[in-house]
Amino acid sequence: MRGIKKSVIILFLLTAHVGAQTVATPEKKDQFSSAQEDAKDAVEKNRETNSFIAIGPTIGGPAGLNANLSFYLWRLILRGSAGFYGTAWYGFQGDVGFSFLNAARIRHSVSFVGGLSRHKPLLALDASNPDARTGVQREQPFFGATYDLYMSGFFLQIGASWGTGNLNNPGLIFQSGYLFSFP
């Protein structure tokens, strides 16, 4: 009788111990779901760390010397650049872009742009009266497509534009400068 009691107690303890082990070990489904959660967290962390604001001076279109403000939101890029030198000389440009390569310090992207460039030369000769000096205003609303490079603060944008107004020929869009980034 004593041996049977001992056997029942040992059997009870073993089944309790085995049951505790099966409850404590996660199933394969739980392992996969935790891996998926880790992957989602990594993507979200990457999205947050790849989003930043950049601001700085650029030379080129639309006004010659421009202030540039860029929002890099993971793969989406929103950018505006403008320069104002009085009512005779100003320009602004807005960009919406997609970054096809995101790395720690470099971004390659393509953008669709639109803007306005207005120039009125200070001195221009009037063909009908050579002694008179007049300003001939040149205004060009434009749209186009560009390739953009952002590399450790250096910014380069080059592309083609088409416009209306009195400068309606296809043209070149170019900007270059240094942008300071803020997370």
For the chain, domain boundaries: 55-182
**Above pLDDT 70, what percent of the chain?**
70
| Average pLDDT score over residue span 156-182 | 89
Which structure tokens are listed for 135? Answer: 């300003």
For 55-182, CATH gives 2.40.160
Model pLDDT, residue 103: 81
Q: Where are the alpha helices (DSSP H) in 25-82?
A: 28-49
Q: Where are the beta strands (DSSP E) in the chain?
A: 52-60, 64-73, 76-84, 89-102, 106-119, 124-126, 129-134, 138-151, 154-163, 171-178, 180-182
Report whether pLDDT(13) > 90: no
Q: Is the pLDDT of residue 115 over 60?
A: yes
CA 26-32-34 angle, 5° bins: 75
Reading the block at residue 59, the tokens are: 């030379």
Residue 131: band (very low, low, confident or very high) from pLDDT cuts 50, 70, 90: low
Report which residue type is found at 107. R
pLDDT tops 60 at residue 144: yes
pLDDT tens-place string over residues 60-69: 989 989 999 9
Q: In angstroms, rounded to a whole number, what is the distance separating the alpha carbons of residues 111 and 106?
A: 16
User: What's this model's pTM, rounded to 2 decimal places?
Assistant: 0.67
Classify 81 as helix, strand or coil: strand
Mean pLDDT rounded to a whole number for the chain: 81
Q: What is the pLDDT of residue 128?
A: 63
Mean pLDDT calculated for residue range 80-95 = 93
Count the neighbouring beta carbons within 10 Å of the beta carbon of residue 67.
16
Place of tokens 């056997």: 7
Mean pLDDT calculated for residue range 62-79: 94
